[in-house]
Chains A and B, each alone.
Chain A
Amino acid sequence: MKESPSLLLLDGLTVGYGRTAVLADLQAHVEPGGFVCVLGRNGSGKSTLLRTMAGLQPALSGQVRLGDEAVGPMPPAERARRIAVVLTEQAHSPGLTTEDVVALGRQPFTDWRGVLSDQDHTYVREAFALAGATPFAGRLFDDLSDGERQRVMIARAIAQRPALMLLDEITAFLDLPGRVEVMALLRRHARETGTVILLSSHDLDLSLQLADAVWLLADGALHVGTAEALITGGNIGAAFNTADVSFSAERGRFELRL
């Protein structure tokens, strides 16, 4: 199903709005099956970077490459077969069932009428199971809690069977066990299918523990490395320390300066 190797490459990528660059000249790459957490303070450009990688806004310069193709010039329908996104904003839609929502993930693969094949139905069913959303099958999407809706949206992204999955701060509405579960299932999914999964998060602890690599956004620059390297190198501290809190490299957690 995936002919091209799902290898993600940022090549001199500059992202931003209009003429204002938020992040400039980024270089990074992810191997197939990589699970990457994107960290950074509010306004550091996490969402802008993810939106640009998803092809939802144009890059100011440079390019995002997926396999041997650039994402920017890809036709939207083609892009939708390679890249799936889950956003912070809470989707809602009166009258849609959870099946309707997950089945939307198959839309890029259907003809003009949008009728699902048996194979599509199988993918939808698998996606429900993989995302742990099977208990919500048959219910109205809007009747679910925030966390449950987020699971259905992840199932929709899985049903899309993308080479690259981008998730923007999706754990914000989940409690701690829920977050661990979701991040673990995404990591497992990346390993098992070779999908490259990028997840932006405010969840420093979990991200540092679970990610294959961390992309740290600070002061318009991107620091790439394993969690340990970024901690011991002082990058995490430099990005998040304020007058009130500081990151302790020895203990691996934040401490109040009181």
Chain B
Amino acid sequence: MTTLALPASRPPTRPARWLLGSVGLVLALIAAALATLSYGQVAIPLGEVVDALFNPAADTVAGRILRDLRLPRVGTAIVAGAALGLAGVLMQALLRNPVADAWSLGLMAGGQLGVALTVAGAAFAGPAALSFLEVFRGVSLTLGAAAGVAIAAIAVLTLGRRVGAVTLLVVGLMLTFTVQGIVSVVVHFVSRAGARVFGGWNDGNFASVLPAEWPLLAGVVLVGIVLAGACAKPLNSLLLGETYAKSLGTHVGRLRVLALTATVLLVAPVTAFCGPVTFIGLIVPHIARAIAGTARIGPLLPLAGLSGALLAVAADFVVHLPWQQHFLHLNAVLALVGAPVVIALLLFSPTMRGLR
């Protein structure tokens, strides 16, 4: 930077920064996606990957692995990672809390509980309800999750205006443990058939989405992304606090409802299809802020979406490397990256240390 401190010299450099970051992230995302598609228990040369992607008619073993297993998984990781990253930006701005995220504050726990109660309700209603549930698995689980996420989000938002950032985080984590307890009790009493509907839960997983369910996941998330975009301007004014936001003409109540709806649409389908995916929503907004060089919401949204997708695909790549025995757990990989970031935030962020 030159010594010329006139702000007029700044605006033209700003868009370039987030635009450059976005382009870089897109390239990295393509590279990570191709790596995940071609490498795993079975290595498929990049040439064959490209072949299979553009010639779906050719029925080879490699083509089937790609189309039936890896492509849905990578697609799910991209959608889920982007959704969680955006939801993290919205929640951190709304609560003015640097460790807010759908998982850390218990929104995903609410979603899990919603799904568990949906399945349990169907199981008790009888085999007809259960088979109905299995046919319309995607829609009903998403609705169950959405109800749970919404209730948890309203509770957290209400509580967030009364307690500090650290208290809210601890409450959110305890809520998660509570729900995990309830879910396992519910699963215990629900018949095996019911338990099967949400088998392999309590761990995040991008591999459990069927290709037919992918459009539902992506569609709901897309609506959430559009709503998040509509929140960007009013959320900026909220960065200075509620009174300033009002004085700048922002309908704070309306904004809360809008941002909350966007969060539910982003988080609920991911929770329903992928289980509780930890840490992505928490650390991605910080990555986006570092790249953008500002906390303004507008530039953060594309950066957070892309870095969320990149982090999810990269984690999924590590999970599915040809390990000696089976796969790693997704949340274990995410915790290795995410937990140190959270510890650093707790130690060094003025907000978390209660200094402000």
Number of A-B contacts (CB under 8 A): 106
Chain A residues, CB < 8 A from B6 = 125, 134, 137
Q: CA separation between A107 and B247, bound complex, in Å? A: 11
Taken residue by residue from 113 to 124, chain A's Cβ proximity to chain B (1 for < 8 Å, 0 otherwise) reads as 110100001101
Give A104-155 interface residues, CB cut-off 8 Å to B: 104-105, 107-108, 110, 112-114, 116, 121-122, 124-125, 128, 134-135, 137-138, 142
- Give the size range of A's interface with the partner: 35 or more
Judging by beta carbons under 8 Å apart, are A56 and B351 in contact? no
Judging by beta carbons under 8 Å apart, are A114 and B233 in contact? yes
- Closest beta carbon of chain B to A162's beta carbon, Å: 10
Q: CA separation between A194 and B248, bound complex, in Å? A: 21
- Closest beta carbon of chain B to A146's beta carbon, Å: 12
Chain B residues, CB < 8 A from A54 = 247
8 Å CB contact of A112 from B233, B239, B240: B233
Q: Assess whether B250 is interfacial by the CB under 8 Å rule.
A: yes
List the one stretch of A3-11, A78-86, A223-231, A242-250 in contact with chain B: A78-86
List the one stretch of B60-68, B148-156, B291-299 in contact with chain A: B291-299
Judging by beta carbons under 8 Å apart, are A138 and B7 in contact? yes
Q: Assess whether A178 is interfacial by the CB under 8 Å rule.
A: no
Judging by beta carbons under 8 Å apart, are A96 and B239 in contact? yes
Chain A residues, CB < 8 A from B237 = 104, 107
Q: Assess whether B226 is interfacial by the CB under 8 Å rule.
A: no
- Closest beta carbon of chain A to B3's beta carbon, Å: 11
Q: CA separation between A253 and B236, bound complex, in Å? A: 45
Chain B residues, CB < 8 A from A137 = 5-7, 10
Q: Assess whether B126 is interfacial by the CB under 8 Å rule.
A: no
Judging by beta carbons under 8 Å apart, are A107 and B351 in contact? no
Q: CA separation between A93 and B300, bound complex, in Å? A: 15
Judging by beta carbons under 8 Å apart, are B350 and A142 in contact? yes
Judging by beta carbons under 8 Å apart, are B249 and A99 in contact? no
Chain A residues, CB < 8 A from B230 = 112
Q: CA separation between A196 and B350, bound complex, in Å? A: 37
Q: Assess whether B289 is interfacial by the CB under 8 Å rule.
A: yes
Judging by beta carbons under 8 Å apart, are B248 and A107 in contact? yes
Q: Assess whether B336 is interfacial by the CB under 8 Å rule.
A: no
Judging by beta carbons under 8 Å apart, are A94 and B248 in contact? no
Judging by beta carbons under 8 Å apart, are B295 and A95 in contact? yes
Give the residue name and chain of the A residue nearest to B292 (CB): A95
8 Å CB contact of A114 from B232, B244, B246, B247: B232
Q: Assess whether A27 is interfacial by the CB under 8 Å rule.
A: no
Q: Assess whether B251 is interfacial by the CB under 8 Å rule.
A: yes
Judging by beta carbons under 8 Å apart, are A96 and B294 in contact? yes
Chain A residues, CB < 8 A from B293 = 97
Known A104-B236, A107-B233, A128-B7: A91·B294 in contact at CB below 8 Å: no
8 Å CB contact of A92 from B243, B246, B294, B356: B356
Q: Assess whether A87 is interfacial by the CB under 8 Å rule.
A: yes
Known A114-B298, A142-B350: A76·B246 in contact at CB below 8 Å: yes
Taken residue by residue from 334 to 356, chain B's Cβ proximity to chain A (1 for < 8 Å, 0 otherwise) reads as 00000000000000011100001
Q: Assess whether B1 is interfacial by the CB under 8 Å rule.
A: yes
- Closest beta carbon of chain B to A111's beta carbon, Å: 9
Judging by beta carbons under 8 Å apart, are A96 and B233 in contact? no
Known A96-B294, A125-B7: A76·B251 in contact at CB below 8 Å: yes
Give the residue name and chain of the A residue nearest to B233 (CB): A114
Give the residue name and chain of the B residue nearest to A74 (CB): B249
Chain A residues, CB < 8 A from B241 = 89, 91
Q: Assess whether A102 is interfacial by the CB under 8 Å rule.
A: yes
Chain A residues with a Cβ under 8 A of chain B: 54, 56, 76-81, 83-85, 87, 89, 91-102, 104-105, 107-108, 110, 112-114, 116, 121-122, 124-125, 128, 134-135, 137-138, 142
8 contacts between A and B (CB under 8 A): A79-B249, A92-B350, A93-B96, A94-B295, A107-B233, A112-B233, A121-B8, A138-B7
The 4 closest A-B pairs by CB, nearest first: A80-B249, A95-B295, A114-B233, A77-B249
